[in-house]
Every structure is written in structure tokens, then in C-alpha cells.
Amino acid sequence: RKEVEQDPGPFNVPEGATVAFNCTYSNSASQSFFWYRQDCRKEPKLLMSVYSSGNEDGRFTAQLNRASQYISLLIRDSKLSDSATYLCVVNPSGTALIFGKGTTLSVSS
């Protein structure tokens, strides 16, 4: 099993749609979880950290399910500017962060 797995997509949705991405991780002792956003040919940028209790930042909601070892990202009311690749990132206990390959989102008008 790969350390961090994501559905590569692409997810093609209309403006205003709600879209959810899931990510699974293999190391049950992982301590830190993040979602990053990467635009084409740009650097990844931190979107949000993921906490055990779940957290929300505007239209974005992240949740962690430790028992099933997956992380989710929900985007409500999608905007054209949300089009990007979303990277799931996990710290598998005491080593450097592991990045998933990303899920591509395309929002159309």
C-alpha cells in the first residue's frame, strides 16, 4: 500500500458545486495532516491543516478519520479560482512530510 494515496481525477464540476476529495494513508501512527493547493507550474501552498476534530475555513472543510486512516477535503460553492491540484500531506511519525500525487479539480462556468 502506498503511503499516501489520492484519486488523481480530474474532477470536473460546474461553478457552485460541492466537491469532496479523499485521501488514504498507510501509517497508523501518523501525527500531522495537511491539504496543500498547487496551481499549474507553481509551488504548493498550504490550504489548511487537518485536526482530529475536523476544521473549517470558509468554503473548505477538512476531516480526519484515524480509524479508517483517511482524510477528506470538502469544497462548497466552487469558484473558477478553485481550479488546481490538491495535495494530501501526511507525517508518518517522526520523518519528513509525505506528499500525495494530488487530485486535479477543474471548475467550469
> For the residues of 24-71, what is the DSSP string, one character each?
EES-TT--EEEEEEE-TTS-EEEEEE--TT-EEETTEEEEEETTTTEE
Look up residue 99 and give its three cell numbers: 506528499
> Of the two residues 46 and 80, which places its CB atom closer to another protein in the complex?
46
Could you tell me the smallest distance in angstroms from the CB atom of residue 78 to another protein? Answer: 23
Could you tell me the smallest distance in angstroms from the CB atom of residue 79 to another protein? Answer: 23
The residue ranges that bind another protein (CB under 8 A) are 31-32, 34, 41-46, 49, 87, 91, 94-97, 99-102
> Of the two residues 45 and 66, which places its CB atom closer to another protein in the complex?
45
